[in-house]
């Protein structure tokens, strides 16, 4: 069974540009989470989707947005990139709204120059 | 908002020594989870605790959930070099709320 897949794995952007990161959850999982992990730091909660709806949003500016598609895959969009957006963006999926374990993808490493 | 803190930030031990990381939440949690992230890797689920005062063991790892469901600990007995990584706790205020991760404790083991 395939795990959570994310693309791209690495990307380099310049300040002011826009980026779209993609995530495919494990088959049968309806919940998708996005976290930001700056180098050597913890996981900061970004967004949580379940069954196509946004369930919770973290303390990030509106230029961070996302969506979940009918097939439960998800996109994270970041507009007007800033240097401090450089981080590993991790996507995770879980079976449903109230179930526990999160399965993480390998992440998308974003560098903003 | 809900905050989850972990101490210590770093722990450097000699192989064979014990290790403990502590997790404290600003709010009562419905459950707490623990994850391990190896260097260069992604977080991997270890365990979930749900009940007040719950204690669970996985080989050399012992997990506890506090009576007030606001704190938790992970204890590793006789560390090995394979235990190297960052250990994160993560908790929810309730089952329909976002999962908030602690700041993590990075464990280094000297062979």
> Do B99 and A33 lie within an 8 Å CB cutoff?
yes
The parts of chain B modelled with pLDDT lower than 50 are none
Q: Find all residues with CB under 8 Å of B36, minimum gap 6, and list them.
A: B43, B44, B46, B85, B86, B87, B88
Q: Tell me whether residues B101 and A104 touch, CB distance under 8 A.
A: no
Spell out which chain B residues touch chain A, with contact meaning CB-CB distance below 8 angstroms. 1, 31, 33, 35, 41-45, 48, 88, 90, 95-104
pLDDT of residue A47: 96
Does the pLDDT at position A34 exceed 70? yes
Stretch among A48-52, A109-113, B34-38, B53-57 having the lowest mean pLDDT = A48-52
* pLDDT tens-digit readout, A61-98: 999 999 999 999 999 999 999 999 999 999 999 987 66
Considering only CB atoms, B96 lies closest to which of A42, A98, A105, namely A98
pLDDT on residue A65: 97
pLDDT value of position B3: 85
Whether the bond between B105 and the residue before it is cis, its omega within 30 degrees of 0, is no
Rounded Cα gap, residues B31 and A31, in angstroms: 18
User: Which token pair is B21?
Assistant: 């990381």
pLDDT at residue A98 in the model: 64
Among partner residues A35, A102, A105, which is closest to B45 by beta-carbon distance?
A: A102
- C-alpha span between A92 and A5 (Å, rounded): 9
Residue A21, CA atoms < 13 Å, CB-side half-sphere: 33
Chain B residue closest to A36 (CA)? B101
Residues of B in contact with A32 (CB under 8 A): none
Query: Which residue has better confidence, B49 or A40?
Result: B49
Q: Name the DSSP letter for residue A72.
A: S
pLDDT band at A59 (very low <50, low <70, confident <90, very high): very high
CB contact under 8 A, A42 and B43: no
High-pLDDT (> 90) share of chain A, % = 88
Q: Residue A56 is nearest to which of B31, B97, B103, comparing CB atoms?
A: B97
Contact across the interface for B101 and A42, Cβ inside 8 Å? yes
Closest to B23 measured CA to CA, from B97, B86, B84, B79 = B86
pLDDT score of B93: 85
State both tokens at B69: 């469901």
Q: What pLDDT shows up at residue A39?
A: 83
The pLDDT confidence band at residue A1, using thresholds 50, 70 and 90, is low
């Amino acid at each position: 069974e395939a795990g959570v897949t994310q693309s791209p794995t690495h990307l380099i952007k310049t300040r002011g540009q826009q980026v779209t990161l993609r995530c495919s959850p494990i088959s049968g999982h309806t919940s998708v989470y996005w976290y930001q992990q700056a180098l050597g730091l913890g996981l900061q909660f970004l967004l949580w989707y379940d069954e196509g709806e946004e369930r919770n949003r973290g303390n990030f500016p509106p230029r961070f947005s996302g969506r979940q598609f009918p097939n439960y895959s998800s996109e994270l969009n970041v507009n007007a990139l800033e240097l401090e957006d450089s981080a590993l963006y991790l996507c995770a999926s879980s079976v449903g709204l109230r179930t526990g374990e999160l399965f993480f993808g390998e992440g998308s490493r974003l560098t903003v120059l | 908002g809900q905050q989850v803190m972990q101490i210590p930030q770093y722990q450097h031990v000699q192989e064979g020594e014990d290790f403990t990381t502590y997790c404290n939440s600003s709010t009562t949690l419905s459950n707490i989870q623990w994850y391990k992230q190896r260097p260069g890797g992604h977080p991997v689920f270890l365990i979930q605790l749900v009940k007040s005062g719950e204690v669970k063991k996985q080989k050399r790892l012992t997990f506890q959930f506090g009576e007030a469901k606001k704190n938790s600990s992970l204890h590793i007995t006789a560390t090995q070099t394979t235990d190297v990584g960052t250990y994160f706790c993560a908790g929810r205020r309730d089952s329909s709320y976002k999962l908030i991760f602690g700041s993590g404790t990075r464990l280094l083991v000297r062979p």
